[in-house]
Amino acid sequence: MSETGDSDTPQQPESANDDRSNVAQAMVREIGKAVIGQEAVIRQVVLSVLAGGHVLLEGVPGLGKTLLVRALAACFGGSHRRIQFTPDLMPSDVTGHVLFNMQTGHFEVRQGPVFANLLLADEVNRAPAKTQAALLEVMQEGQVTIEGETHRVPRPFMVLATQNPIEQEGTYPLPEAELDRFLMKVLMDYPQAHHERLMVDVVTSGRPADVLHVDHLSQLLPAEGVTNLQAQAAAVLMDESVMDYAVRLVRATRAYSGISRGAGPRASIALARVARANAFLSGRDHVLPDDVKQIALPVLRHRIALTPDLEIEGVSPDQQLQRLIDDVPAPRV
């Protein structure tokens, strides 16, 4: 018998949910037409869309992080903006500012790039902490305060921030408060050899520059359609035992050997949200323990800190978290 369910489980509810998740699955396939060889990364980003959260995408330059965001924006009819984070970027360049209109004689609010459905914060860790902090309010509250006045951003709203590995020159570590606001941290690695060969062929055949276009991608739904998908994903059933399992995983990080700082309650909420989205994307109307296991690493890896001795040994957060996941027993549902 499988740990994730009995073989005689009724299948009728799953076929009904298959119809609702077709659009989400089509998004994965459509983005895959532009971003070659990154299937796991694409799926995790779409899961964040379904769960209504923000994504921190990490990888060395040139892997297609910006292309992934452009492809995602092409799949739905919402607005999207891009901010290139640099050391001299000011917080007002992100959120907006008040200026005096000489013609009208009044002060007016000029909204910043955050007022969009999809915001690409490119190389976010190349800006200093005060500029990174400009994203805190909008990521948590969906609003921006400019000169004491609150302005709502459009719905749905998602920040997809890219960053280079922290060891690279000219990077600043993200503050813990900002890291915790990202639903998932997705790692983008080098493509496999056959995928890289295909990528080179696509980019260099008949094109004078190494630019991958997204013009050929289809718009699958309007902005409000994303909100509807998010509501359907949030309605996926989660058994109490599976919910308890997700919470136990997060709480275990606070007392596990080799972890100096564990994940907070926001991680428990994120784990449940993304597990529901994973079940929805898989065409099911209920969450299995495997849904929690499959997304635990991207949900937790940026919310913990390892002890100095493990860092010296070269142990990664993913390695230690995998040991923890293996040690925490999953329910049989």
Set out the domains of the chain in order of their start, with CATH numbers.
24-226 (3.40.50.300), 236-333 (1.10.8.80)
Report the alpha-carbon distance of residue 72 to residue 187 in Å, rounded.
17
pLDDT of 292 > 80? The answer is yes
DSSP code for 134? G
- Give me the pLDDT at residue 330, please: 93
- Give me the pLDDT at residue 20, please: 60
Report the alpha-carbon distance of residue 223 to residue 78 in Å, rounded.
5
- Give me the pLDDT at residue 45, please: 95
The arithmetic mean of pLDDT across residues 188-196, rounded, is: 86
Write down how long the chain is: 333
The Cβ of residue 58 has, within 10 Å, a number of other Cβ atoms equal to 20
pLDDT digits (tens, 9 = 90+) for 71-82: 888 888 778 888
Whether the CB-CB separation of 284 and 241 falls below 8 Å is answered with no
Rounded to two decimals, the pTM is: 0.85
Cis peptide before 265 (omega within 30 of 0): no
Contacts of residue 2, Cβ cutoff 8 Å, sequence gap at least 6: none
pLDDT digits (tens, 9 = 90+) for 90-124: 988 889 888 877 777 777 888 889 999 999 998 88
- Give me the pLDDT at residue 209, please: 55
Q: Which residues pair with 151 in a beta bridge?
A: 144
Min mean pLDDT across 10-14, 30-34, 222-226, 271-275 is at 10-14
Report the alpha-carbon distance of residue 302 to residue 299 in Å, rounded.
7
DSSP code for 169? T
pLDDT of 4 > 70? The answer is no
